[in-house]
Amino acid sequence: MERLQKVIAHAGIASRRKAEEYIVNGRVKVNGKIIRELGTQVGKNDKVEVDDVPIYKEEYGYYLFYKPKGVISAVSDDKGRKVVTDFFSHIKERIYPVGRLDYDTSGLLLLTNDGEFSQKLTHPSHEIDKVYVAKVKGLAKKHDLLPLTRGMKIEGYKTAPAAFEIISVDLKTNTSIVELTIHEGRNHQVKNMLQAVGYPVQKLKREKYGDLTLKGLRPGEYRNLNKKEISVLMNQSKS
């Protein structure tokens, strides 16, 4: 279910604010009945009309994308940089990323045009594991990383407990590969956490989102999520 004004805006009829005016002014019908309540929720099977003209409701699309490094997690960029939706130019739905990955971070990113799906997955109570692999400066030691498992204060907030694994240590380059599992999604969180324990991130990739992986994909490629995957993600949300 989605708010009526959001459905109208999503169909490209008007902005959400303008859609609210249409509703208040009695120009919108749901299943043949004029609706003036802004909080009205409508489902996929409801018939919505604006000025007696049925609106076209897009089919929902759900995509798993292998975001390359150097791409913005947005639908547009005022600096003209490449954005994730540039890789979906032939997709008719107006999709957008669920959450984000930093410009210089690669890996698994979900995109959709389903507002309810996106809202559930980005809600703070949605505690699905996200697995990152980081190349960090320094020779990682377990006792240095242990504070991550208890949660730590960073930029005024305390992180939830995380899990880590030291994958490898390279004496020649003075670098390490560390896997970090978190279920939050704050900006630069993984970088900030590893920086806080003394290991600045040089390279970062998100390899897993819940049970989803990048298997079979190369950077810049994507695939559709199947119904089971969508259902699992929705049911894992506590919001």
Residue type, 112: T
| 144 a catalytic residue | no
71, with CB counted inside 10 A (0-12, 13-18, 19+), is buried
Alpha carbon 218 to chain centroid, angstroms: 19
Q: How many residues does the chain have?
A: 239
Candidates 77, 102, 144, 170; catalytic one? 102
CB–CB of 106/65 below 8 Å? no
The phi-psi region of residue 49 (left if phi > 0; otherwise alpha if psi is between -120 and 50; otherwise beta) is beta
| Joined tokens for residue 108 | 């698994």
Give the active site residues. 102
